[in-house]
Structure 1
Amino acid sequence: MMQAEVLDEPQLEFGGGSGHIDPRFGLTAYGPADLGASDAPTAIRVGMVGPADQLDGLRRWLERCREPIAAKDERYPHLFPSFPGCDLDRGLYTTLVFSDRNTRQVPDRALRGLDKLSRIDAIDASVGLYADELTALAEENRVDLMIVARPEQLKDTRTRRQMRSANRQRGGKDRPNTGYENFHDLLKARMLHVRQPLQIVRRSTWDETTPPSPGRGRQDEASRAWNLHIAMYYKAGGVPWRLRRQATDLTTCFVGISFYHGHDGTSLDTAVAHVFNERGDGVIVRGGAAHISKEDNQPHLNAADAHTLLQTALDTYRREHHTLPARVVIHKSSRFVADEIAGFDSAADARDLDALDLIWITDSEDVQLFRPGAAPPLRGTLLTLSPDEHALYTGGSIEFYSTYPGMYVPHPIGIRAAQLTRSPREVAIELLALSKMNWNQARLDGRYPITLHTAEKVKRVLRFCQPGQAIATRYAQYM
């Protein structure tokens, strides 16, 4: 029988163990979750690389963000709150430290030459220019984070169809790497060997006179400051917020598994896993090749590769955290087949796990709920279609915001469990909380759990890496 209920919005944990449902209000009231910890970043040494005509303006804007920035709209004070500023006595309780010594200019002459190149060659050339400067800066080991002022004139995205057309125009020869699509992903891939994460910033983020790129909107200034500073705090090793857990809860590790094409664009899909704990630490593990099932035309792992992937993920987790979790939850964007279940179960047995949950998260459901009036369903609405099928609205109207903050009709994600040690309702509450663990945005209404959101982001970077290339294990290197 079909049933629906609205789940309470899960709280997150901030400084002093205090809780709030919204990251921005929690940070403003209580500070970050690691406030006062010996390893919390109270001073973030920032390196800067980019064109000369951007570096001064970007630095001035970041220094201005030490002070509060007014809210956008008084009609929705919870949706568009002010930015409290970022300094030792407010906001994230840290300060950005700049130095001319840690600032490197990308030569204007070289950047002007990009206009003469095809779009693919311009992306490749610009990444090379930036990678040289970033590598030199990283090797000096004087910074915790490197901010990249993205070249303004560079056109960003390229579809596979456009790339095939361009390759034909250049003589019909495909480049060794057919995944060239944008500056962000390729530069991240080139810089996975350095310790310091990158924060790539567009000019339209800090310069109100520069319009955003076609197809991209621009948030209000306070929201831009929130998103950027939270991301930088996390990349510098901080913990902005964490999941709340009861003392009686099992220590849980969440694993998101996704698949991507290899660097040549023709190899079988390869698995990548994001291993994530309640504290917010995320590590990345690359698995073996997958095969496309004739039954659903989706990538899957054989039993041995599923076993190896989970075992490697747990070993990586143990090296990072010096312990193993009691419970592991695996999220996957395709259904679990028998071989995968057998492989994951055998790995769990080998590591003496107390509990293993296997959950297929579908992108959308062929079901739609309506409320009286024009407002969409509330975020947190859980619809039970059958004992094994559930739909969860991670987007929708939000009472705390007094509005629906989206642009389009929200669609629920589907929950299909192959193996559960918790009730579907408990799993849905967990998914709602995990949808709030994205440190690239400060609002509370992420669509996907961070496990799958991260895996999708990571695979966009890893497809530019050679199969045997060593990769960074810390998620901050990819975001």
Structure 2
Amino acid sequence: MVLKPALRIQDQNGRRAPVEIEKAVKLQILGAQFNDKFNQAINWWRQKLFSDGNSTTIYKFPDDSSSSFRFKVRRSPVFAEIGSASRQPPIALSGGVKRLVRHQGVELTEPVLLFSDKAATGHAKDTHPIRGIVHNQPFDFGLTQKGLASSIRLGVVCPRREAVRLSNYLNGFMQRQRPQRANPEYLLEYPGFNRAYGIPLEIPHPDDSGWATCAEPESADPTAGARELAEKIIRSIDELMAAYAPHEVLVFFPERWSTLKGFRTENERFDLHDFVKAYCVQRGISTQFLEEKTLANKEQCSVRWWLSLALYVKSMRTPWVLESLDPDTAFVGLGFSVDPAAPRGRHVVLGCSHIYSGRGEGLQFRLSKIENPIFRGRNPFMSEQDARRLGETIRQLFFDARLKLPGRVVIHKRTPFIKQERDGLCEGLSGVNRIEMLEIKMDHALRYVASVQRNGRFDEDNFPVRRGTTVRLDDFTALVWVHGSTTAIDGRRRYYQGRRRIPAPIVVRRHMGESDLQTVAQELLGLSKMNWNTFDLYTKLPATVHSSNEIARIGSLLQRFGPQSYDFRLFM
């Protein structure tokens, strides 16, 4: 059971504040509640709950019922003892603290990324993706050096009114940009696209064949206008592909079109971005949407790094890979998209997020519809037959990519693996010696406070729990802090990405497999660095499940399913 205090934001008349205002106020209050302040808030509630001074209090719920549920709350916290191979000698615990230790854990090291060196003759290593690019070259720089892909040709779709402004903005990506105030301990100077990635970016002029002018929608109605605008954008993309054949297409979206991004009714949901993406995915076209507000963003160094990475990756390039994962292992993330308006047998799409190799590289993946879904609450699950077909698909995809079966397959999913799924997947993956099925989810109500030793006693730390901290709860369940403080950027200073409140751990529950916890957790940390759509040090979830639900959502709009495979970069 979790007791979670809630904030209620009211105006001067006692009325509840609008949702957007409430979110902003909550963010302002709770966003700055760091590790020490969070612990102080917990102590304040502890004083409220145990005002009588007793170490234990018994509560009844509901309070006025003759058959109420009774539960006991202890005043003392629960501690987890964390070991680390790279830190100071272990701290000796006093008897009073030692009796409160209920769990054991370990702090794992930050995974290392591989890049190409400047001469394209070998690999260079770094934990920081931006620093790795700046000091070295992208992992596939050797292909550029050999002339196999000597430039990146960009196509642009833009309304006539913003053409000159957008052209000037895109040409600015060839220039240096210093960081502003945001994130100075992480962000490095942007050196210009060609210097950063070692490859020219060909940006068309508004009068060139690589620049398509998108006509303005005639309807201002959100329903009709959204569909009309989507068709006009698609028509412009088709014209570009026929006349210019760019490696990727950038679609500029001005603020005046914001009411036409999509609509939702009782029977239909339409998202312009997803509709255009789905159309292009089926034709192998990479797309990047750029909203007008991005041009006014004050932190243009961040914008240029993030957008330049998207343009590099969507041209089917590889910026970095992982050093440490097992080359004989394949990783798979499962995601689902539910369309309640679709007929039975076609209303659940399985997004088999592309298979990842042992180096974290995304391989081809395939989308399919679940024929006989099993619903438990709102969550869809696979029947044994559906799971068997999926297992066969995973096996075939990996064989097509590597010409051999993997020795080990690790499957990640945000919901439990029911018996039908376990049996079907094992049958479909026959020939694979080791199969792991891991439920990966974030429990935002579960928080731990980091402690340090000061003057011979424990006190709250200023920084939160360290990234890589792994705590075993029982034989099947563990907590892994993928998000947390780290010294991976600078060994002398700690860095906390986002700098908001304290991080929640990932809850990992094993439904099948025998790999040790340290291996499983280290793989999760590594895969959290393999989302090529961001220059963050990591994402809060591993790439396998971070992208799978999004892929399934866009994939639900595809007109055909079956043997065709897609590259995940088309969905980014």
Per the alignment, in what secondary structure is the counterpart of residue 391 of structure 1? strand
> Which one of the candidate residues 42, 52, 56 is aligned to 2:164?
56
Q: Which has the larger radius of gyration?
A: 2
Q: Does 1:399 align with 2:487?
A: yes
> Which one of the candidate residues 199, 207, 210 is aligned to 1:94?
199
Q: Does 1:264 align with 2:341?
A: yes
Q: Structure 1 residue 103: deviation in Å?
A: 0.7
> Which one of the candidate residues 316, 330, 353 is aligned to 1:253?
330
Aligned twin of 1:211:
none
State the aligned residue count: 442
Q: Distance in 2 between matches of 1:384 and 1:11?
A: 24
> Which one of the candidate residues 251, 268, 276 is aligned to 1:187?
276
Aligned twin of 2:93:
none
Q: Distance in 2 between matches of 1:464 and 1:297?
A: 21
Alpha-carbon spacing, 1:307–1:391, altered in 2? closer, same or farther (3 Å): same
Q: Structure 1 residue 233: deviation in Å?
A: 1.2
Q: Are the equivalent residues in 1 in contact too, given 2:366–2:562 (CA < 8 A)? A: no
Alpha-carbon spacing, 1:58–1:158, altered in 2? closer, same or farther (3 Å): closer
Aligned twin of 1:363:
442
Q: Are the equivalent residues in 1 in contact too, given 2:367–2:565 (CA < 8 A)? A: no
Aligned twin of 2:135:
29
Structure 2 runs not aligned, ≥5 long: 1-101, 117-121, 451-459
Q: Which amino acid aligns with 2:407?
A: A
Aligned twin of 1:410:
503
Q: Which amino acid aligns with 2:200?
A: T
Q: Does 1:237 align with 2:339?
A: no
Deviations 1:414-446 (CA, angstroms, capped at 9, x unpaired) = 111112242111111111110111111101120
Aligned twin of 1:337:
418
Aligned twin of 2:524:
431
Q: Which amino acid aligns with 1:93?
A: G
Q: Structure 1 residue 265: deviation in Å?
A: 4.8
Instruction: Name the stretch that deviates more: 460-469 or 425-434.
Output: 460-469
Q: Does 1:78 align with 2:185?
A: yes
Deviations 1:340-362 (CA, angstroms, capped at 9, x unpaired) = 1111111221xx22322111102
Instruction: Name the stretch that deviates more: 308-317 or 434-443.
Output: 308-317
**Aligned residue runs from structure 1 range 150-169, under 5 A:** 150-155=253-258, 163-164=265-266
Per the alignment, in what secondary structure is the counterpart of residue 485 of structure 2? coil
Aligned twin of 1:126:
229
Identity percentage over the alignment? 23
* Greater relative CO, 1 or 2 (CA 8 Å, sep 6+): 1
Alpha-carbon spacing, 1:256–1:148, altered in 2? closer, same or farther (3 Å): same
Instruction: Name the stretch that deviates more: 318-327 or 453-462.
Output: 318-327
Q: Are the equivalent residues in 2 in contact too, given 1:376–1:397 (CA < 8 A)? A: yes
Instruction: Name the stretch that deviates more: 45-54 or 331-340.
Output: 45-54
Query: Normalising to structure 1: TM-score of the pair?
Result: 0.85
Q: Structure 1 residue 157: deviation in Å?
A: 8.6
Alpha-carbon spacing, 1:256–1:157, altered in 2? closer, same or farther (3 Å): farther
> Which one of the candidate residues 287, 291, 299 is aligned to 1:198?
287
**Aligned residue runs from structure 1 range 302-317, under 5 A:** 302-317=383-398
Q: Structure 1 residue 334: deviation in Å?
A: 0.7
> Which one of the candidate residues 457, 460, 464 is aligned to 2:550?
457
Q: Are the equivalent residues in 2 in contact too, given 1:361–1:416 (CA < 8 A)? A: yes
Q: Which amino acid aligns with 2:249?
A: M
**Aligned residue runs from structure 1 range 383-394, under 5 A:** 383-394=471-482
Q: Which amino acid aligns with 1:91?
A: A
Aligned twin of 2:247:
144
Q: Structure 1 residue 130: deviation in Å?
A: 0.3
Q: Structure 1 residue 72: deviation in Å?
A: 2.1
Alpha-carbon spacing, 1:266–1:362, altered in 2? closer, same or farther (3 Å): farther
Q: Which amino acid aligns with 1:360?
A: E
Per the alignment, in what secondary structure is the counterpart of residue 257 of structure 1? strand
Q: Distance in 2 between matches of 1:465 and 1:280?
A: 24
Aligned twin of 1:168:
none
Aligned twin of 2:114:
13
Aligned twin of 2:455:
none
Q: Distance in 1 between matches of 2:462 and 2:154?
A: 47
Q: Are the equivalent residues in 1 in contact too, given 2:444–2:504 (CA < 8 A)? A: yes
Q: Which amino acid aligns with 2:226?
A: I
Query: Normalising to structure 2: TM-score of the pair?
Result: 0.72
Instruction: Name the stretch that deviates more: 412-421 or 467-476.
Output: 467-476
Q: Which amino acid aligns with 1:84?
A: P
Q: Distance in 1 between matches of 2:247 and 2:340?
A: 30
Q: Does 1:381 align with 2:473?
A: no
Q: Distance in 2 between matches of 1:29 and 1:445?
A: 19
Per the alignment, in what secondary structure is the counterpart of residue 264 of structure 1? coil
Q: Distance in 2 between matches of 1:158 and 1:63?
A: 27
Q: Structure 1 residue 235: deviation in Å?
A: 1.2
Per the alignment, in what secondary structure is the counterpart of residue 190 of structure 1? helix
Q: Which amino acid aligns with 2:161?
A: D
Q: Which amino acid aligns with 1:26?
A: G
Instruction: Name the stretch that deviates more: 90-99 or 401-410.
Output: 401-410
Q: Are the equivalent residues in 2 in contact too, given 1:380–1:432 (CA < 8 A)? A: yes
Per the alignment, in what secondary structure is the counterpart of residue 281 of structure 1? coil
* C-alpha RMSD of the superposition: 2.5
Higher strand share: 2
Structure 1 runs not aligned, ≥5 long: 165-173, 209-217
Alpha-carbon spacing, 1:24–1:189, altered in 2? closer, same or farther (3 Å): same
Deviations 1:139-159 (CA, angstroms, capped at 9, x unpaired) = 346211111112422236989
Q: Does 1:276 align with 2:353?
A: no
Alpha-carbon spacing, 1:263–1:104, altered in 2? closer, same or farther (3 Å): farther
Per the alignment, in what secondary structure is the counterpart of residue 128 of structure 1? helix
Deviations 1:98-138 (CA, angstroms, capped at 9, x unpaired) = 3311111012xx33x34x21x23222111110001102222
Q: Structure 1 residue 282: deviation in Å?
A: 3.4
> Which one of the candidate residues 421, 425, 428 is aligned to 1:347?
428
Instruction: Name the stretch that deviates more: 408-417 or 318-327.
Output: 318-327
Alpha-carbon spacing, 1:279–1:413, altered in 2? closer, same or farther (3 Å): closer
Q: Distance in 2 between matches of 1:136 and 1:317?
A: 35
> Which one of the candidate residues 214, 228, 231 is aligned to 1:106?
214
Q: Distance in 2 between matches of 1:26 and 1:183?
A: 35
Q: Distance in 2 between matches of 1:101 and 1:125?
A: 24
Q: Which amino acid aligns with 1:478?
A: F
Q: Structure 1 residue 339: deviation in Å?
A: 1.3
Per the alignment, in what secondary structure is the counterpart of residue 101 of structure 1? coil
